[in-house]
A and B are shown apart, each in its own frame.
Chain A
Amino acid sequence: MVDKSLELFDPGHRACGGCGPALAARLILKGAGRETIVVSSTGCMEVFSTPYPETAWRVPWIHSLFENASAVASGVEASLKKQGRSEKVVCICGDGATFDIGILCISGAFERGHDITYICYDNEAYMNTGIQRSAATPYDASTTTSPAGACSFGNKLPKKDMPGILAAHGAPYVATASIAYPADLMQKVERAVNTPGPCYLQVHTPCCTGWGFDGSKTIGLSKLAIETGLWVNFEMVDGEVTKAKKVVRKPVEDYLKMQKRFRHLFKPVLQKDEIAKIQAIADSNAEKYGIDIRV
């Protein structure tokens, strides 16, 4: 067991107050421990934590490009193997880097079976460049490249199923987690880094600036995502879902109405049909993962 009281991510970083990804970085390092080499992609976390020479990382850390973290990690892992070293290699990358531009390198690294853990901190858009849509952006969210307008309800596409894609690569351990449940998150990180082979973890990390809510509500909102079924915390071992967090579900409005990115669904008029479509996404998640506690 790693000592989870260790602080390996320094204050002084430049994340927005209440930033979900900043909290995720702290918690991930607690779960992974000191003997970890982190590979980051270009994005908010990289930028807020490493303006030269003020690094916030107390573990060895490397950033190369937006889309190549998993390939860099493959090289790090191969080198450690050759040298007989035992550090764990962990990628921590944004959803844009993971779902979109980096998928070639990720697919390659997972297919080759490197002993790495790839963690996506999912804030559901390209935040660093000003809140543009990614394949992780949820249905109907308004972003700067999928804006809601007179003839648009925002992002028209559903979230891509990255855990499913990586499970299909034969990853021995795939899981989702949320900063709302820190103990669960840290335990999943610890399990992933100690599972031989390529493991994938997708962590829900609300972004107050990009989603439009007050930074004090970051944890509350993460919880609501789970309580509405719009985010499911689950574990997959060898491609089978072995565990999913069960909830007494709340209506999706409770989650949506707290965020500016969904405001167009409530004002100037309530868009009942659109909200019903989002409710249907939650219902299908609940069905797929069996999360409903019936009361």
Chain B
Amino acid sequence: MLKITEGSHAVAEAVKFCRPEVIAAYPITPQTHIVEALAEMVANCELDSEYICVESEFSALSACLGASAAGSRVYSATSSQGLALMFEVCFNVAGMRLPVVMSIANRSLGAPLSIWNDQQDSISLRDSGWMQVYAEDNQEATDLHFIAYKVAEDHDILLPAFVCFDGFILSHTYEPVDVPAQEEVDAYLPSFKPYQRLDAADPISMGMYATPDYYMEFRYEISRAMERAKEALKRAGREFDEEFGRDYSAPVEGYRLEDADTAIVALGSICGTVKDAIDEMRGSGRKVGLLKIRSFRPFPDKEILKALDDVSTVAVLDKNVSLGSGAGGALGLEVKDALYGSGIEVKDYITGLGGRDVRKRDIANITDLAESGKGDMYYGLREEVL
């Protein structure tokens, strides 16, 4: 049913329909509305979950780890400093192959303290073994939760997942969202079947340590599962399309890319602005297109190469920065890697950090810069304060 709702509430509804048995979360702007909405659902008996009101994000994810190991479907949500506090647990959850799903309302990381949006938080955990999918709008943010659970819990995958959506820009924005009905979700997402669990009737030890004889193989197994997750995400996306008529099967999605000379590559809500800017630029005869990256982990390198095969210039927008790498963001660095040797000119633009607005004319300017060979730079700096 289509309704006008706040992004966070749409996500909370989606989570409710996924029937998490244990929820543990700690409030932080801009994630708060999700966990408040879930607490309210539990308080009104609309959602039959154990809601653990923890004292920190560190305990939130640790409790999710324990509940998942004991055999429950679990959920958490966080942003920014909260995710940073979970850093150690994130690596642990992935290494123990527990299919935890967590929403990330993307926000910048301090210092300086900033509550506003960029994607430094989730991007900084790119090597942790969590899948990471990014939503362009609230419909996608909602739908990706169903897909994330399905893939994470697949016994062939068993990897945790972040569903990332931009803080404030999506989380606090009212948009029409089609939230499916419980029966429809039940038909799509089967109840949780743990691969293994803590059980006195059949004891196992979980989270043992690995000597140098085994450690590398365990890490390699996670890499392989990530590789398999590429197909699993496509499959789950196709099945979702069959059930709900919205197609998320592609890890990357082109927009007016067919005959483009210049392509913009981006993650998350900025893709909406880019599409509008492209429509305008196309109106004045410029051949510009967008490649939206939906899945950042696993990273769809082959799909990117294929989609950008015919363009001559690529401008990557990064709402994060890998400090010390020059003016490089994680997405730019990885797109360059994916296109290495193709002859395509790739330029990276660090933009929109800490909530700085990125408008249509900025996209047009970036396109100009890329086409004139200027890039690998911060875009939109206020020179007057430097």
- For A46, the chain B residues whose CB sits under 8 A away are 209
A178 within 8 A of B: no
- Let me know if B199 is at the binding interface, CB within 8 A: yes
* A74 / chain B contacts, CB cutoff of 8 Å: 24, 52, 54, 59, 62-63, 66
- Are A112 and B53 in touch, CB under 8 angstroms? yes
- Contact A71 B66, beta carbon cutoff 8 Å: yes
A75 with B64: in contact, given A60-B198, A60-B199, A104-B55 (CB under 8 Å)? yes
Q: Return the CB mask of A83-97 against B: 1 if under 8 Å, else 0.
A: 100010000000000
Q: A35-B200, A81-B50 are in contact. Are A63 and B62 (CB under 8 A)?
A: no
Q: Are A50 and B209 CB-contacts (below 8 A) given A75-B24, A108-B59, A111-B55? A: yes
Contacts of A71 in B (CB 8 A): 54, 58-59, 62-63, 66
Task: Give the distance in Å from the alpha carbon of A213 to the alpha carbon of B207 in the complex.
Answer: 32
The answer to whether A104 touches B65, judged by C-beta atoms less than 8 angstroms apart, is: no
Interface residues of B in 51-101 (CB under 8 A from A): 52-56, 58-59, 62-72, 74, 88-89, 92, 96
Alpha-carbon separation in the docked complex, A58 to B204 (Å): 8
Q: Which residues of B contact A51 (CB under 8 A)?
A: 208-211
Query: Which residues of A lie under 8 Å from residue B74 when comparing CB positions?
Result: 75, 79
Interface presence of B206 (CB below 8 A): yes
Chain A residues near B208 (CB, 8 Å)?
Answer: 50-53, 55, 63
- A270 contacts B by Cβ under 8 Å: no
B198 to chain A, nearest CB (A): 4
Q: Chain A residues near B210 (CB, 8 Å)?
A: 51-52
Query: B231 an interface residue at 8 Å Cβ cutoff?
Result: no
User: Which chain B residues numbered 198 to 223 have a C-beta less than 8 Å away from chain A?
Assistant: 198-200, 203-211, 214
Q: A63-B206, A79-B21 are in contact. List 12 more A-B contacts (CB 8 A).
A: A51-B209, A51-B211, A53-B208, A61-B203, A61-B206, A64-B62, A64-B207, A71-B54, A72-B66, A75-B52, A76-B69, A82-B21
Q: List 19 A-B contacts (CB under 8 A).
A: A57-B203, A60-B204, A63-B207, A64-B62, A71-B54, A74-B63, A74-B66, A75-B52, A75-B65, A78-B50, A78-B67, A80-B70, A83-B70, A105-B55, A105-B59, A107-B55, A108-B54, A112-B53, A112-B54
Interface residues of B (CB under 8 A from A): 21-22, 24, 49-50, 52-56, 58-59, 62-72, 74, 88-89, 92, 96, 198-200, 203-211, 214
Task: Tell me the A residues contacting B by CB distance below 8 Å.
Answer: 34-37, 39, 46-47, 50-53, 55, 57-65, 68, 71-83, 87, 104-105, 107-109, 111-112
